[in-house]
Amino acid sequence: MDMMLLLLTIGIFTGFFVQTITGFAGALIALPFLLFVMPLPDAIGYLSIFYFISSPIHVYKEWKYIDKPLLKKLALSSFFGLLIGIIVLAYGQPVILKKALGVFIILFVLNSLKANKEIQLISKMKYFFGFLGGFFSGVFSTGGPLYLVIVKNETSDVKTLRATMFGVLGLITFMRIPVLAFEGILTVNQLYNSLYVLPFFILALILGKKVYLKLNELFLKRIMLGLLFLSGIMLLIKN
């Protein structure tokens, strides 16, 4: 196995192991490994392939816990944001937007630590934040943390939070695949290489589910906020 396939395997395994536990952060964990051996568009192509496989599994298993009304509210605005984000990905990478998202996420986490009430501004601007989530999912594959901000603000328990995140990211994935293919970012070679990684990816889903079942709700919420804070820091420091 060459270095590209090795780091692809490590990135996908660790990313989707964490993704299965928390409902998000797959791209956050996987991207640093992938970007060592490939450009950002290729990395997003690979991530989209494995999200495409995992999303139906997670959505099917967690369907009864998903906040469907919230998912519907985010769908249309997310699509337009995603479309614009992928066009930007194909023709440029506005780093300043990435850093602004990092600052916003860090401020949200700090606010969450001092108060357990919802932020009314976010509740009133679901469509705008849905657009931003789609945009950053398209251009940097970092929409997950932004969607977590919305979903955490709108849900009361961790099961609904985690399941709704699976629903939102699944929706984004199914929107993203045809656009990535049309823009030439998703390739046949990526599909071929993904076959080598598939057994490790399946193992990550199985182990992640086993770990999730052993965690209590308070600890899981702390993990989510920790990963959210980490994502903000990474967005700030990484070019």
Query: Do residues 21 and 42 make contact, with C-beta atoms less than 8 angstroms apart?
Result: no
Q: What residue has token string 């994935």? A: 173
Reported confidence tier of residue 215, pLDDT bands at 50, 70, 90: confident
Q: What is the value of pTM for the model shown?
A: 0.77
Mean pLDDT of 157-168: 89
Rounded-to-integer distance, Cα 9 and Cα 210, Å = 20
Q: Residues 6 or more apart from 67 whose CB is under 8 A from it?
A: 151, 154, 155, 160, 163, 164, 167
State pLDDT tens for residues 40-91: 788 888 998 999 999 999 999 999 999 999 898 888 888 888 888 888 777 7
pLDDT at 27: 81
Q: Write down the pLDDT at residue 218.
A: 75
pLDDT score recorded for residue 108? 66
Taken in order 53, 84, 189, 46, is the CA torsion positive or negative?
Answer: negative
Rounded to an integer, the average pLDDT of 175-199 is: 88
Residue 167 has pLDDT above 80, yes or no: yes
Residue 34 has pLDDT above 80, yes or no: yes
Burial level of 94, CB count in 10 A (0-12/13-18/19+)?
Answer: exposed
- Return the residue matching tokens 């998000």: 24
Residue 217 DSSP SS3: helix
pLDDT at 12: 95
10-19: average pLDDT? 91
